[in-house]
Structure 1
Amino acid sequence: MRYSILILLTFVFFACGNEKVIELPVINHSEINEINDVSPAYLFYDETQKDSVELNRKNLIVSTNWLVNVDKRLTLRQVLPHIQFLQSKKENSSHKNEHAKNYYTCNDLSRKDLGFIEFTDVVYFTEEDEILPENTYHVAVLDLNQIIVYGLEGADYKTNLNDLLATLEEATAVGIGERSIGLSFYDKLSFNDYIAFKSELSTLHLENVSVSNHEFIFN
C-alpha cells in the first residue's frame, strides 16, 4: 500500500503506509521561492501520536539544503525539540556541507506557490541564561495580537504585529542609532503565527537595526 504526504495542493511525496497531510504555515510573501539541491523533513500534526507530532526524516541528506515542512497547527513547544535535533544532526555530521542551508517551507499567498524562510543560523534556547547586549529591544510574542516590547521609546508596552512593525519603521526613520531586536516566543504559539511574525519582520528595511538570531522560547 502507498500513501501520499500532501503539501499545499500540488506537492506530493509517496511512501509506504497511510495518507498524511501537512498544512503549511501561510505567509503573504517570501523573498525565497526556489532552492536547488534539497532534501525534505516533515513534522506532522498527528493526534494518534504522543504530543500530536511525528517527525519523518528518512530522506534527509546532510550535504544538501534542508526543507523542513512543519504543520502549521503544531505549537513551538511541540516543534522545538525536533528542530533542535535536526540542527544538531547536521551541525555535527562529518559530511556537513558549509554551503548547505536550512529552510522552513511555507504557503506563499502572493505567488500561490511554495515559499521558504531560512533558519540556518537561528539558535533556539529555553533557559534565560543569555544576557542581551545594550541597546537591544526585547520583543516577547504571546500571539500576533499580544506582543510585549521592552526598551523601545523608553517604556515597556503591549502591542500587536501591525502596530509593532509601524513603530519600528517610525523609530528608525527618526534616527535611533544602532540597535538590535531580541526575540522571545511563547511556547504555545502556533507554528503558523511564529512563521507569520518572522516573515513580516523580515520585510522591514530598518537602518542600523539588526535582529538577533538567538530566539528564546518561554512558557
Structure 2
Amino acid sequence: MKISIKVLLVSVLLLPILQSCKKEDVLLPQTNVSVMTTIEDHSPIYLFYEANGKDTLVEVNAKNSISTTNWIFNIDKRLSLGLIIPEIKVLQSKKKRSGHTNEEAINVFSYSDSITKSLAFLPFTDVQYKYDKDFSKFYIKEHTDLYIDYFNLTVNFNKQNQITVDGNEIEREEFVAYIKDFADFMSNGKTTIIHLNFDKHLSYNEYIQNKVLAWQLTSDKIQLSSYEFIYDKELLPECGCTL
C-alpha cells in the first residue's frame, strides 16, 4: 500500500494524536531538501516529547509496528539525541530479532520539506549507532585494517552545532563544496568515507538537518559510513586534540 503523503502530513504535523488518554503533538524537523518523497507498506513509530517539570522525557509508541513493513520514525524535533538514540537502537534490534522479516523493508526518519511544504523521508536502515564513549577518529585508529583502503574524513557536529572536518572548523554554507574539493584533491583515487559524529546534546531537529546536509555529499566517489557516533564529550578519551 502506498502511503498518502498528504494524509500523513496532516496527521503528524497538524492534528493532535491520542496517546495514553492525553493529546500530544509530534513536531517534525524541517529542512529544505527532500531525500525521499514516497514510501509503501509502512508502519508508524512515534517518539513523543514530554516535559516533566524541569526534565524532558521521551515517550515511545511502536504498538502498530509490523516487522515486515517499512518503519517510519516520526520523532519530535525538540528531543535530544541523548534521549532518542537509545530508543532507536532498541527498536532497530527488535525489528532484526523478529521471527518474521522482510529483507527489502527499510527504516526512515520523517521530516518536513520547507520548500515543497510536504513530507519527506530519510533512510537509515543500515546505520549502526556507536553511543556515548566512541568517536570516529579513535575507532578508525583501532580498526585500521578496515579503513586502510579508503580516504577517511571525520566530520563532527559539536554541542554548539558547529562543523569540523578532521578538527578544522568549516562554515556550514561551505561544507559540501569543501568536502568534495578536498576529497578530490587528497583521496588519490580512493573512495572517500565520511564518518559522522554528533554531540548527544544536539536536538533531533539539528541532527536531521545535519544528516540531510551530509547526504548531499554522496556519490560514486564519496560514501557515508554506516557507523554513526553519538558521543558524550565527557566520556571520550583525553587526546589534547580538536574533535
Q: TM-score, normalised by structure 2?
A: 0.78
* Equivalent in the alignment of 1:34: 38
- Alignment partner for residue 72 of structure 2, among 44, 64, 67? 67
Q: Deviations over 1:175-195 (max 9, x none)?
A: 733221111110001111111
Distance (whole Å) between structure 1 residues aligned to residue 42 and residue 176 of structure 2 = 33
Shift of 1:17: 1.4
Q: Does 1:139 align with 2:143?
A: no
Distance (whole Å) between structure 2 residues aligned to residue 48 and residue 168 of structure 1 = 42
Q: Deviations over 1:140-173 (max 9, x none)?
A: 11157512211xxxxx411232222220132245
Larger fraction in strand? 1
Distance (whole Å) between structure 2 residues aligned to residue 44 and residue 174 of structure 1 = 44
Paired residues of 2:161 and 2:202 also in contact (CA < 8 A): no
Distance (whole Å) between structure 1 residues aligned to residue 119 and residue 222 of structure 2 = 29
Q: AA paired with 1:203?
A: Q
Q: Does 1:55 align with 2:60?
A: yes
Q: Does 1:86 align with 2:91?
A: yes
- Alignment partner for residue 180 of structure 2, among 160, 169, 173? 169
Structure 2 gap segments, 5+ residues each: 1-9, 233-243
Structure 1 gap segments, 5+ residues each: 151-155
CA-based RMSD: 2.3
SS of equivalent to 2:71? strand
Q: AA paired with 2:171?
A: N
* Equivalent in the alignment of 2:171: 160
Shift of 1:212: 0.4
Q: Does 1:112 align with 2:125?
A: no
Q: Does 1:21 align with 2:36?
A: no
Shift of 1:92: 0.8
Distance (whole Å) between structure 1 residues aligned to residue 111 and residue 202 of structure 2 = 17
Q: Deviations over 1:6-45 (max 9, x none)?
A: 52236x6556611110110111121311111001010011
Q: Deviations over 1:86-131 (max 9, x none)?
A: 1000011111111111000101122211100001000001243733
* Equivalent in the alignment of 1:153: none
Paired residues of 2:18 and 2:24 also in contact (CA < 8 A): no
Q: Aligned pairs, how many? A: 209
- Alignment partner for residue 8 of structure 1, among 8, 13, 18? 13
* Equivalent in the alignment of 2:235: none
Q: AA paired with 2:125?
A: T
Paired residues of 1:141 and 1:148 also in contact (CA < 8 A): yes
Distance (whole Å) between structure 2 residues aligned to residue 166 and residue 47 of structure 1 = 40
Distance (whole Å) between structure 2 residues aligned to residue 32 and residue 105 of structure 1 = 9
Q: TM-score, normalised by structure 1?
A: 0.86
Paired residues of 2:17 and 2:24 also in contact (CA < 8 A): no
Paired residues of 1:145 and 1:161 also in contact (CA < 8 A): no
Distance (whole Å) between structure 2 residues aligned to residue 130 and residue 168 of structure 1 = 21
* Equivalent in the alignment of 1:130: 139
Q: AA paired with 2:175?
A: L
* Equivalent in the alignment of 1:208: 221
Percent of aligned positions that are identical = 35
